[in-house]
Amino acid sequence: MSIRILAIEDEKPIADFLIRGLTEEGYQVEHAPDGQSGWLALQQQTWDLVLLDWWLPGEDGINLLKRFRTRNRTTPVLFLTARDGINERVNGLDAGADDYLTKPFAFEELLARIRALLRRPTQSDSLHLEFSDIKVDLARQSATRAGEPLDLTAKELSLLIYFLRNPHRVLTRTRIYETVWDENFDGLSNTLEVHVKELRRKLEKLGPRVISTRRGQGYILEESSTCSDA
Ligand code: CA
């Protein structure tokens, strides 16, 4: 039996993209274009996973999620947020979302998140990210390395979360900028470098380097044994 996904999304181009892409991947997708029809679909049928937009006509995603969680704790919910604002993400996770994705997103990343959520045995396991001895608790918005707390700013934490979600992949400065800063990268600012430097400094107080620079390309999160640059 195929996996059933409910997509609650009012923007037609995004909804069409989700329905087409996920159907091609073998998922059975139903679409609800607003809060009311989304709520009906949540009540009347069971789903393996729910994709939930933040801003919806009728009832917005966060209220829908809160109501849904009062009666269903286990169905994974992936939040689609339009901005990478930390408050939205925290509110979404607090309201019971298992994960979130910031628009615009790459379809490949959406698929990876869906696979990960469908693999997860319980909700409580889904609120953590890990790489080597680094851990992030998404619900608490806190991070540790080797069991020691990391005192990160909100931006450094967002940056670390982005690296942890994309290990062993070169992340271009443009991509990081657009995802973590939610702004267009002008190619001149050194803001990103400053934050990476500070994040590294804090991480490296507790262990070896894990964020490498790939000259002319960007950054990559990798095991310290393969981490080569200074
Ligand atoms: Ca929307």
Q: How many CB atoms lie within 10 A of CB 122?
A: 8
Which residue blocks in the chain are alpha helix, DSSP H?
Answer: 12-24, 35-44, 61-71, 86-94, 107-119, 154-165, 173-176, 191-204
| Domain that residue 22 falls in | 4-119
Identify which of 175, 174, 169, 196 has the alpha carbon closest to the alpha carbon of residue 187: 174
Distance 8 CA to ligand 1 centre (A): 9
Task: Count the domains in the chain.
Answer: 2
d(CA 100, CA 82): 10
114 and 170 in a single domain? The answer is no
Distance 55 CA to ligand 1 centre (A): 4
Distance 61 CA to ligand 1 centre (A): 9
pLDDT tens for each residue of the chain, 230 residues long? 578 999 999 999 999 999 999 999 889 999 999 999 999 999 888 888 999 998 899 888 999 999 998 877 788 999 998 766 777 778 888 888 999 998 888 999 999 999 999 886 544 445 788 899 999 988 788 999 999 999 999 889 989 998 998 888 899 888 888 778 766 666 667 788 999 999 999 999 999 999 999 998 899 999 876 655 54
CATH number at 115 reads: 3.40.50.2300
Identify which of 160, 72, 167, 61 has the alpha carbon closest to the alpha carbon of residue 116: 167
